[in-house]
Amino acid sequence: MSGANRPIGVFDSGVGGLSVLRALRAELPQEQFVYVADSGNAPYGERDDDHVTTRSLAITDYLLSQHQIKAMVVACNTATAAAIKTLRAAYPGIPLVGIEPALKPAAAASLTKTVGVMATRGTLQSEKFQALLASLHGQATFVLQPCDGLAIAIERNDATKIEALCAEYTRAMGPFGLNQEAMDTLVLGCTHYPFVESELRRSIGAHVTLLEGGAPVARQTRRLLEAAGLLARPDAEAMQAPTQFFTTGQVEDLQHAAARWLKLNTSASALSV
């Protein structure tokens, strides 16, 4: 298989990275993807960096050895914060794209200059996030909210828990809206959170800007593939290249999530790595 025809690997601690996969498939419809949900070892956001790095290395090894991927997308804010440096050092031969909370565009977009950030505790406490936050000193006030349990509630599609946690965490952050000192912009710093936008809107209102990282990751992936001469050629007969799904958790959970959020009736395979 030629380099350009090999698939792109995408992984997350669970089903949240499907929000990034959705953006990747829209930006790069000619590309094949292999998606790994490490649901059997979730949630990453409540684990230490060593655990997350070990899992990230194991999954990348699997994708390279078994699927000969041409590029890797770490579709998880926590894994990017904990492991991206290690991954880049270990695999210098492939384009590797991470994701981080959209603090910089949020600071630029906010009119009140007060920005809310919802993320896992692991992301907010990471050295990478703290460096990003420090780089924006004076550009906006950031209200940081660790959202313990929200990602796993989304994994389990627990509607009652999701609604309760969204209400609890947005209430704890303070006022949202367009008034002075209110948060007019909310950064979704976990790839799971875009899937609960409707629940968040009940608390923050319709006029608050929500920012997440899927589209920027997809654009960066395109740029890196173009630079490396690895973009797949469009297939005139195919509307969308195929995607393979694997999970270390329950196969049915990933299949249901892909159907619910990507409108894909697809099979998934169990994975032990």
CB 32 within 8 A of CB 141: no
Q: What are the CA-CA distances from residue 160 to residues 25, 145, 178, 203, 256 (Å)?
A: 30, 20, 29, 15, 18
CA 3 to chain CA mean position, Å? 25
Q: Name the token pair of 218.
A: 């997809």
CA 86 to chain CA mean position, Å? 18
Torsion of CA 55, 57, 58, 63, to 10 degrees: 120
Q: What is the DSSP-derived secondary structure letter of residue 183?
A: B
Start-to-end CA span in the chain (Å) = 24
Q: What are the CA-CA distances from residue 130 to residues 30, 93, 184, 240 (Å)?
A: 37, 28, 22, 38
Q: Name the token pair of 101.
A: 């909370």
Q: What is the DSSP string of 53-66?
A: HHHHHHHHHHHHHH
Catalytic residues: 76, 190
